[in-house]
Amino acid sequence: MIGYVTLGTEDFDRAVQFYDDLFASIGIERLWKMDTMAAWGPSREEAALCITIPFDGKPASFGNGTMIALKAKNKEQVDVLHAKAIALGGADEGKPGPRGDSGFYGGYFRDLDGNKLNAYISG
């Protein structure tokens, strides 16, 4: 159902480098980049994550309660994505681990613009 999600950034080049490095840690490459927007994902036929300088020229901001969930292939990818985000200067919002008893395993972090993401697998 979801084709892509977009996050705003105040520093486009810094954000591109963050997501290039983050997703490279699990073998995902950038799909495309234009002047003020870029996207990453497994292919153009699957859901993607985009970043952009806001079109309206106002400052980018993150939503309170908004979070982007990145579906991982296994626990190791969850761990790798979380660790890489922190190493790149992101903020820890919850170390990788099980949540509840349903088999859900996730790690939570914020990117350099304060956007909240998690990497997860579900049982």
Q: What is the CATH number of the domain that holds 8?
A: 3.10.180.10
Number of domain units in the chain: 1
Both tokens assigned to 39 = 């996207």
Domain presence at residue 61: no
Domain presence at residue 58: no
pTM: 0.92
Q: What is the pLDDT along the chain (123 residues), one digit of tens a residue?
A: 789 999 999 999 999 999 999 999 999 999 999 999 999 999 999 999 999 999 999 999 988 889 999 999 999 999 999 999 999 999 999 999 999 889 999 999 999 999 999 999 997
| Residue found under tokens 């520093």 | 11
Give the integer Cα–Cα distance in Å for 72 and 62. 23
Q: 76 near 63, Cβ under 8 Å?
A: no
Give the CA dihedral 40, 42, 43, 47, nearest 10 degrees: -70
Domain span at residue 99 reads: 4-53+67-121
Domain presence at residue 24: yes
Burial of 55 (0-12, 13-18, 19+ CB in 10 A): exposed
Domain presence at residue 60: no
